[in-house]
Amino acid sequence: MKDKQNKIILSIKNLKKYFPVRLGAFGESSGIVYAVDGISLDVSRGEIMGIVGESGCGKSTTGFVIVQLYRATSGSVYFNGIDLTKLSERELRCMRTKIQIIFQDPYSTLNPRMTIGESIGEPIRAHKLMKNSEVKNRVFELLKDVGLKPSFSNRYPHELSGGQQQRICIARALAINPDFIVCDEPVSALDVSVQAQIINLMKELQEKYNLTYLFIAHNLAVVRHISDRVAVMYLGKIVELANKDELFDNPLHPYTKSLLSAVPEADPKLEQQRKRIILEGDVPDAMNPPTGCRFHTRCPIANEKCSKEIPYFEEKRPRHFAACHYVKRRCNRRR
Amino acid sequence: MDNKLLDVKNLETVFKQRKIIIHAVNGISFSIKKGEMLGVVGESGCGKSVSMLSIVNLIPPSGTIKNGQILFEGQDLRKINKHDFYSIRGNKIGIIFQDPITSLNPFLKIGIQISEGLIYHKKLSKNQAMKRSAELLDLVGIANPKERLNEYPHQFSGGMRQRVMIAIAISCEPELLIADEPTTALDVTIQAQIMELIKNLRSRLDTSIILITHDLALVAGMVDRVIVMYSGFIVEEALVNDLYDNPQHPYTISLLKSIPKLRGQTASKLLSIEGSPPELLEKPQFCPFAPRCKYNIEKCWQATPPMRSVSEDNDSHKVACWVNKKNGVEK
């Protein structure tokens, strides 16, 4: 564990991503969507970092900015000490062999006209890592890794089930031996029984190849199961960050608390006794985020201070960070 | 007649696509009592939505109900003509669909869409209907109901649209409310709001509710009884506490174990069910779960198991499985 903490593979510093939008039929007025608004995060080698949040909180955008599918508005993404946001497209190509991404919907990310074998082999060919003759064997090896028979390499995506397609996407991401994989809702489109298969597979592969995952999902239970540490996002900001057990057993931020209490559990007795914190209203518009603490419009304990001052994201308990005015700091260690 | 509001017997629905026949629902029987809330759970493609939509005759044109009886208040819904159906659907049976944006008409104001049913079924005047619509919006927790009646669906957020859908569904005070995955498209905090609303409405209106969902956790705190479906069959039926404390069918057992937990110890590995659900191209002659089942015995491959009671005193807990826990086969 200590070894893990020392080797930081990915370090995000004050990352911002704004999307300009034009409104009105003729684009007369314009606005800015504050999708990711100043987040900082360190991920150690071999760690699974979970990001949770509701739709529109900027969790996927964060993942996309890390792999540079979106270029950041400001801030930096250090991968092994190199700032990816400063690299040109050409330089990024080399870096992309180390960072891969798995998307939510496997069917739309696989080319329907390419066989499975071609799809998996494509990143190897694109980066010219192997001779053409060797690629085939590597594809078989990868298919075996994700629990499929070699015969699958001649099939087309539409012949496979959702779970099998997601296995193919995982194999393709692994093809060039990356160190870091951004998993953007990899199991959300799958059924419960298949979801469990994919989660187990991803965990196995992580241990086998000592991979680092940034695991983005909206399902809290899934994130709890797979992650080492978890960050909770709300409207473009991280509101809480801690080890998974600490976060789920002892949440500090009122948003995390209400999020956890909103999730139903498969235990009728528990459910009947449970007192829920039901949040009022919807997530505010990211184009026009609330002043001060972004959560204050829905927060059960908010008062005037919250609507004016932005709370610091600070260490409230040892290795447990949160951004809220009303969580007292109780840790001796100063950073 | 006992207090069964809806009694479905041996319902069978098939879809024809070119030359392929898909057996979506393979002869299911169940009933719902007055004021009861029933959960229907299963993975995608298990026939849970199709079977419930068959009840209200809303299956797409490629589908046909081949067999079975649908007794609603003692009347067979398969035998009545189209016009009589209009007086039942939307009036005595309300439906909430999964995706509110595709179910609401984008060109019509919310007020018109809610009052439509009231004018048609309850013969209210336009003014009365609008007044009632405002009350309904208030009931489902939308602020400033009178002003919002004049807004269009796109002016509402996802959660608010679902509230409008619920307002439409309950506008004629139906005896039965079918909610087809009402919160699947919504975030958890909004899901909690909507579920709380459905719970409140239930105690206020005393309607029977069928809640269709893929989320085993969602039904746990909501319903009285649960039906688990797999591949067009009902595999288990039980009171909610019995199902979660003492699941009998291997599918239910593994499904419950394959959900990651939010509390307590995390297992290092989730239990997963190997393989994927069958394709429904043939009507199975054996237990549909047998290919994925760990406990399958020879008999599983010979015939589809009938529902049998496993509870001691009454028929509340039923399971369709040849393997018997009591006969010493460990599950």
Q: Terminus-to-terminus CA distance in chain A, angstroms?
A: 19
The token pair that represents A82 in the structure block = 């190199």
Paired sense of beta strands A29-44 and B4-17, if any: unpaired
Residue B13 exposed, middle or buried by CB count within 10 Å (0-12, 13-18, 19+): buried
8 Å CB contact between A35 and A215: no
For A53-198, list the strands marked E by DSSP: 74-79, 82-83, 99-102, 180-184
Q: Which residues of B touch A (CB under 8 A)?
A: 43-44, 157-160, 187-193, 195-196, 214-218, 220-222, 240-241, 244, 254-256, 258-263, 266, 268-274, 276-277
Q: Are B241 and A269 in contact (CB < 8 Å)?
A: yes
- Strands, sheet with A229-234, edge to edge from the N-terminal-most edge strand: A99-102, A180-184, A212-217, A48-52, A229-234, A237-243, A320-322, A314-317
CA atoms within 13 A on the CB side of B116: 14
- Strands, sheet with B318-319, edge to edge from the N-terminal-most edge strand: B93-96, B176-180, B208-213, B37-41, B225-230, B233-239, B318-319, B308-309
Closest Cα in chain A to B259: A192
pTM value is 0.87
Task: Using pLDDT thresholds of 50, 70 and 90, give the confidence band for residue B1.
Answer: very low
Sort out which chain A residues have CB atoms less than 8 A from B258's CB and list them: 192-193, 195-196
pLDDT of residue A335: 47
Judge whether residue B330 has pLDDT over 50. Answer: no
pLDDT of residue B313: 72
pLDDT of residue B331: 43
Mean pLDDT, chain B, whole residue set: 88
Q: Are B187 and A283 in contact (CB < 8 Å)?
A: yes
The token pair that represents A169 in the structure block = 């996407």
pLDDT tens per residue across span B35-72 = 899 999 998 888 888 998 899 988 888 999 998 999 99
Judge whether residue B327 has pLDDT over 80. Answer: no
The token pair that represents A307 in the structure block = 């609507």
The rounded distance, in Å, linking the Cα atoms of A32 and B28 is: 53
Residues of A74-109 as b/e, b for ≥16 C-beta within 10 angstroms?
Answer: ebbbbbbeeebbebeeeeeeeebbebbbbbbbbeeb
What's the average model confidence in pLDDT over A204-231? 93
Give the per-residue SS3 of B206-249.
CCEEEEEECCHHHHHCCCCEEEEEECCEEEEEEEHHHHHHCCCC
What's the average model confidence in pLDDT over A202-224? 93
User: Nearest C-alpha of chain B: how many angstroms from A137?
Assistant: 25
pLDDT of residue A333: 55
CA atoms within 13 A on the CB side of A192: 24
Q: Are B221 and A196 in contact (CB < 8 Å)?
A: no
Q: Which residue has the tokens 């903490």?
A: A5
The rounded distance, in Å, linking the Cα atoms of A200 and B7 is: 41
Mean pLDDT, chain A, whole residue set: 90
Strand partners, B26: B12
- Which residues, including other chains, have CB under 8 Å from residue A141's CB and lie 6 or more apart? none
CA B140 from chain center: how many Å? 21
pLDDT of residue A174: 94
Q: Is B327 helix (H, G, I), strand (E, B) or coil?
A: coil
pLDDT of residue A1: 44
The token pair that represents B11 in the structure block = 């319902």
DSSP structural state of residue A276: P
Task: Using pLDDT thresholds of 50, 70 and 90, give the confidence band for residue B284.
Answer: confident
The rounded distance, in Å, linking the Cα atoms of A226 and A203 is: 7
Q: Which among B53, B43, B165 has a CA at the least distance from the CA of A191? A: B43
Paired sense of beta strands B4-17 and A314-317, if any: unpaired
8 Å CB contact between B166 and B98: no
Q: Which among A103, A165, A100, A154 has a CA at the least distance from the CA of A127? A: A100
pLDDT tens per residue across span A46-86 = 999 999 998 889 999 999 999 999 999 999 999 999 999 99
What percent of chain A lies above the pLDDT cut of 70? 97
What's the average model confidence in pLDDT over B100-109? 90
8 Å CB contact between B177 and B169: yes
- H helices, E strands: number in chain B: 11, 12
Sort out which chain B residues have CB atoms less than 8 A from A265's CB and list them: 217, 220-221, 261-263
pLDDT tens per residue across span A234-264 = 999 999 999 999 999 999 999 999 999 999 8
A97 contacts chain B (CB < 8 A): no
8 Å CB contact between A276 and A290: no
pLDDT of residue A275: 84
Q: Are B216 and A274 in contact (CB < 8 Å)?
A: no
The token pair that represents A249 in the structure block = 């057993």
- Nearest-10 Cα torsion for B66, B71, B76, B80: -100
The token pair that represents A69 in the structure block = 């599918």
pLDDT tens per residue across span B127-186 = 999 999 999 999 888 888 999 999 999 998 888 899 999 999 999 989 999 999 998 888
Mutate which: B197, B262, B280, vs A, most A CBs within 10 A: B262
What's the average model confidence in pLDDT over B180-203? 88
pLDDT of residue B326: 54
What's the average model confidence in pLDDT over A154-164? 90
pLDDT tens per residue across span B77-97 = 988 888 888 889 989 999 998
pLDDT of residue B32: 93
Mutate which: B249, B255, B276, B293, vs A, most A CBs within 10 A: B276
pLDDT tens per residue across span A267-315 = 888 888 888 888 887 888 888 889 999 999 999 988 889 999 999 999 9
The rounded distance, in Å, linking the Cα atoms of A167 and B29 is: 37
Judge whether residue A4 has pLDDT over 60. Answer: no
Q: Which amino acid is at B306?
A: P
A163 contacts chain B (CB < 8 A): yes
The rounded distance, in Å, linking the Cα atoms of B94 and B124 is: 18
pLDDT of residue B328: 44
- Which residues, including other chains, have CB under 8 Å from residue A125's CB and lie 6 or more apart? A132, A135
CA A267 from chain center: how many Å? 28
What's the average model confidence in pLDDT over B96-112? 90
Neighbours of B253 (CB within 10 A): 18
Which of B214, B255, B260 lies nearest to residue A225, judging by beta carbons?
B260
The rounded distance, in Å, linking the Cα atoms of B1 and B73 is: 9
Neighbours of B211 (CB within 10 A): 26
User: Nearest C-alpha of chain B: how many angstroms from A4?
Assistant: 19
Q: Are B273 and A193 in contact (CB < 8 Å)?
A: yes
ipTM of the shown complex:
0.83
Q: Which among A107, A75, A52 has a CA at the least distance from the CA of A248? A: A52
CA distances from B269 to A144, A147, A190, A202, A225 (A): 20, 16, 18, 11, 9
CA distances from A230 to A13, A240, A315, A319, B300 (A): 17, 8, 14, 12, 44
pLDDT of residue B2: 63
Sort out which chain B residues have CB atoms less than 8 A from A218's CB and list them: 187-188
What's the average model confidence in pLDDT over B278-288? 85
Q: Provide φ and ψ at A39, rounded to 5°.
A: -115, 145
What percent of chain B lies above the pLDDT cut of 90? 42
Q: Are B244 and A163 in contact (CB < 8 Å)?
A: no
Closest Cα in chain A to B197: A278
8 Å CB contact between A102 and A170: yes
- Which residues, including other chains, have CB under 8 Å from residue B265's CB and lie 6 or more apart? none
A189 contacts chain B (CB < 8 A): no
DSSP state letters, A282-312: -PPPTTSPPSSSTTTTT-TT--HHHHHSPPP
